[in-house]
């Protein structure tokens, strides 16, 4: 019976380690996917802002040489709600560009760690991009140094946690050590 218990415990430990390796190795690939999603969403925001500015230029017959600030100032006087909408879009764009810039400037080994706050739901705009990136992510096993490093870390962590759980599960079944004999 001890043989089967030991075998089962080792099998669970091995399975947990392999599962953690596979999950942790996804982190660099997801970080790259998330970076692409940030860039795409930033491009959409830029196009939205430019389109709204262009529509305002044409509607109010402003010269083509009028820059975005001049158009926004004109909109603030005539349509404050529209101007506020463009300002909010500009703030979203700044948040998206800042998050993308931080990831681009970071080392490939650190990028997965920098995506954690976004996945956890810090900034609403960034968390929305992370949610859509997570929904569209296709798991793969990239052969890269960051994937190997995260995979090994996941393997060690998975084995450690599985060993701890198996040890806790075995505790009620351990024999009590006999009391020392007085002679």
For residue 77, give its domain range. Answer: 33-138
Whole-Å CA distances, 80 to 59, 74, 77, 166: 15, 9, 6, 63
10-residue mean pLDDT profile of the chain (183 residues): values are 77 86 87 92 92 84 80 82 87 91 91 84 81 86 84 88 83 68 73
**Domain assignment present for 60:** yes
**Domain assignment present for 63:** yes
**Domain assignment present for 166:** no
Q: How many domains does the chain have?
A: 1
């Amino acid at each position: 019976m001890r043989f089967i218990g030991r075998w089962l415990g080792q099998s669970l430990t091995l399975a947990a380690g392999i599962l953690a390796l596979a999950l942790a190795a996804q982190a660099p690939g997801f970080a790259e996917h998330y970076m692409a999603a940030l860039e795409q969403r930033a491009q959409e925001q830029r196009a939205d802002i430019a389109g709204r500015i262009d529509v305002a230029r044409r509607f109010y017959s402003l010269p083509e040489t009028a820059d975005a600030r001049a158009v926004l100032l004109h909109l603030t006087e005539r349509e404050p709600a529209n101007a506020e909408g463009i300002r909010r879009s500009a703030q979203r764009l700044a948040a998206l560009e800042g998050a993308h810039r931080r990831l681009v400037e970071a080392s490939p080994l650190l990028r997965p760690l920098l995506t954690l706050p976004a996945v956890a739901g810090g900034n609403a705009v960034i968390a929305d991009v992370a949610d859509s990136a997570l929904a569209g992510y296709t798991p793969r096993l990239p052969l890269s140094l960051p994937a190997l490093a995260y995979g090994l870390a996941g393997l060690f962590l998975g084995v450690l946690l599985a060993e701890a759980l198996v040890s806790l599960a075995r505790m009620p079944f351990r024999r009590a050590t006999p009391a020392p004999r007085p002679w």
